[in-house]
Chain A
Amino acid sequence: EAGVTQSPTHLIKTRGQQATLRCSPISGHTSVYWYQQALGLGLQFLLWYDEGEERNRGNFPPRFSGRQFPNYSSELNVNALELEDSALYLCASSFYYVDLNYGYTFGSGTRLTVV
């Protein structure tokens, strides 16, 4: 079974540009979550999509946005990039419910560097 795939693996952008990150969930998973992992700050929740709808949003500015497509894949868009947006962006997928045996399945992330 294929895992969660994220593309690109690495992305270098200039301050002020836009970045688009993509995520393909595990087959059968309807929920996709985006997290930002900045150095020393752990995983910060960004966005949650399920069945094409945005279910929840973390404490990030509106220039962080995304969407989920009918095949449940998702993309994260970051507009007007700032230097502090440099981080590892992790996508996770799950069934709508998580439980003791089935949690999130994470991809390996997209390393975004803003210069």
Chain B
Amino acid sequence: QQQVKQSPQSLIVQKGGISIINCAYENTAFDYFPWYQQFPGKGPALLIAIRPDVSEKKEGRFTISFNKSAKQFSLHIMDSQPGDSATYFCAASITSYDKVIFGPGTSLSVIP
């Protein structure tokens, strides 16, 4: 019930294309959904976050879509660039002051 599922495990996208990563959860008590980006040799860094009262949030080329009834959310990276090549983790927590549960991650490679 605490698990966050994520797919695909790996993704290869051409430069300029759209990268889409999907996540799903079971625990309806989750109310904070961040996405983290991790480059090799570095710790993850907060990319964008959303709460379930909003269906979509956009920051630059990154958009989170949230479907509360389906308990699913996704990250869209528009105009993907080679510099976006990294591992992306979706995550969730029950409250703003609880531990964050991470999905297994998606390794994104953007090829020229």
Contacts and interface: CB of A to CB of B under 8 A. Distances in A.
Given A42-B104, A106-B44, A108-B42, A99 B99 contact: no
Interface string B35-69: 01000011111100111000000000000000000
Contacts of A96: 97
Given A43-B89, A108-B41, A103 B46 contact: yes
A98 interface: yes
A49 to B, nearest CB: 11
Interface residues on B, range: 20 to 34
Contacts of A90: 43-44
A104 interface: yes
A26 B85 CA distance: 27
Interface of A: 4, 33, 35, 40-43, 45, 48, 56, 58, 90, 92, 96-109
